[in-house]
């Protein structure tokens, strides 16, 4: 049996979707804090958690350290960013 992408990668977002949501995310050039290394990977990790219902601790390691992803998720939630992101007309998978 030939193995392709690992099953958790079916939730990856493409570059076109990333470009639509990028302006709303933290870590942009010119902001006070450091630039987020990979917003696309972060968003995909959050989608994976929301779609699968798995606990944060079960986040596949190639999405990053689960604690850091969770912490950033909470920060964006407190700022109302998730509401804005999901108001954008995007098919999230």
User: Which spans in 2-80 are helix H?
Assistant: 15-21, 39-52, 66-78
Please indicate, yes or no, if residue 73 is contained in any of the structural domains.
Answer: yes
Q: With 50 as the cut, is the pLDDT of residue 1 above it? A: no
Check residue 3 and give its pLDDT: 43
pLDDT bucket at 71, cuts 50 / 70 / 90: very high
CA separation for the pair 69, 56 (Å, rounded): 8
What's the pLDDT tens digit per position in 10-58?
A: 666 667 776 777 777 766 555 555 455 677 788 889 888 988 899 999 9
Q: Which domain holds residue 67?
A: 63-93
Please indicate, yes or no, if residue 38 is contained in any of the structural domains.
Answer: no
Check residue 21 and give its pLDDT: 72
Please indicate, yes or no, if residue 71 is contained in any of the structural domains.
Answer: yes
Please indicate, yes or no, if residue 30 is contained in any of the structural domains.
Answer: no
Please indicate, yes or no, if residue 54 is contained in any of the structural domains.
Answer: no
How many distinct structural domains can be found in the chain? 1
Check residue 57 and give its pLDDT: 97
Check residue 40 and give its pLDDT: 79
CB contact set of 8 (below 8 Å; sequence gap of 6+): 48, 52, 60, 63
Please indicate, yes or no, if residue 3 is contained in any of the structural domains.
Answer: no
* Structure-model confidence comparison of residues 10 and 76, the more confident one: 76
Please indicate, yes or no, if residue 80 is contained in any of the structural domains.
Answer: yes
Please indicate, yes or no, if residue 32 is contained in any of the structural domains.
Answer: no
What's the pLDDT tens digit per position in 24-33?
A: 776 655 555 5
């Amino acid at each position: 049996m030939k193995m392709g992408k690992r099953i958790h990668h079916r939730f990856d977002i493409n570059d076109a979707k990333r470009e639509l949501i990028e302006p709303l995310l933290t870590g942009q050039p010119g902001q006070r804090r450091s630039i987020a290394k990979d917003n696309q990977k972060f968003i995909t990790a959050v989608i994976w958690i929301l779609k699968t219902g798995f606990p944060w601790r079960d986040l596949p390691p190639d999405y990053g350290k689960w604690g850091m992803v969770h912490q950033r998720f909470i920060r964006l939630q407190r700022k109302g960013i998730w509401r804005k992101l999901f108001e954008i007309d995007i098919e999230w998978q």
